[in-house]
Amino acid sequence: MGPPDTDYENGLFTAVLTFPTDYPLNPPKMKFLSEMFHPNVYPNGEVCISILHPPGDDPNHYESSVERWSPVQSVEKILLSVVSMLSEPNIESPANIEAARMWRDNKKQFRDKVHRTVRKSLELEDEI
């Protein structure tokens, strides 16, 4: 369910976590099956947040190693990170350029699109 006091509030978004064979040494992947419009979610639904990035140093030098996956992370921590992501997108490293641009340049348009996505998740609207 979309977190309270966010544009995603009350939305019902289905996602899957896929665990690699070498889990917990490497992170699972998370993908929304429901339509999701967010700067840190690729158009295909894949979630892009630091905690789900492989452990170690970031080859792009954007994230510190402590922000990335470690075997001590839990599924609960992943879910909390995703809820936090919905509340506060990181538009400096977007997975969805259109969503990041809209968030930065036209918050009303962004919110309108997200609200349509929420309505669709509740089967109150057929198309976005």
Positions annotated as catalytic residues are 48
Residues 6+ apart with CB under 8 A from 14: 32, 33, 34
**Which tens digit of pLDDT belongs to each residue from 11-36?**
999 999 999 999 999 999 999 999 99
Residue 61 has pLDDT above 60, yes or no: no
Q: Report the top-level CATH class of 15-124.
A: alpha beta
Read off the pTM. 0.89
Compute the distance between CA of residue 70 and CA of residue 64 in angstroms, rounded to an integer: 12
